[in-house]
């Protein structure tokens, strides 16, 4: 059974923000970014355990994983998965202080 992909409101906002930022330099690159995010999400839906676990002391984030966007490796998809759903929590640039964002170690 294929997992459905659900984007949180924050992840949808992040995706739009990244699209606009990249699009300021190149609309073609921004379109490619969206395509690559979708392709990466399909991969994660099929193989959710390939993502690296996020190490954190916060109990609610223990099931969180991360994986880079194919072709845009500086952007990280943060997600959790169960047997039916891949839930995208956020899409952050790797230069972000992830400690501040998630309390990541």
Domains of the chain: 4-102 (3.30.2310.20)
The predicted pLDDT at position 26 comes to 96
**CB 78, CB 24: distance < 8 Å:** no
The predicted pLDDT at position 97 comes to 65
- Is 95's pLDDT higher than 80? no
Which tokens belong to 93? 């640039």
Mean pLDDT, rounded, for 71-100:
88
Q: How confident is the model at residue 83 (pLDDT cuts 50, 70, 90)?
A: very high
Name the more confident of 64 and 38.
Answer: 38
**CB 64, CB 79: distance < 8 Å:** yes
Predicted TM-score (pTM) of the model is 0.87
Tell me the angle at which helices 9-25 and 27-46 cross, rounded to the nearest 10 degrees: 150
Name the more confident of 97 and 84.
Answer: 84
């Amino acid at each position: 059974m294929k997992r459905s992909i659900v984007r949180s409101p924050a992840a949808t906002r992040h995706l739009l923000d990244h699209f606009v930022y990249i699009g300021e330099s190149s609309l073609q690159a921004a379109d490619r970014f969206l395509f690559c995010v979708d392709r990466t999400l399909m991969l994660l839906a099929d193989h959710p355990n390939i993502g690296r676990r996020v190490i954190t002391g916060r109990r609610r984030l223990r099931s969180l994983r991360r994986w880079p966007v194919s072709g845009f490796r500086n952007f990280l998809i943060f997600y959790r998965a169960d047997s039916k759903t891949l839930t995208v929590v956020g899409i952050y640039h790797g230069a972000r202080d992830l400690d501040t964002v998630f309390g990541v170690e």
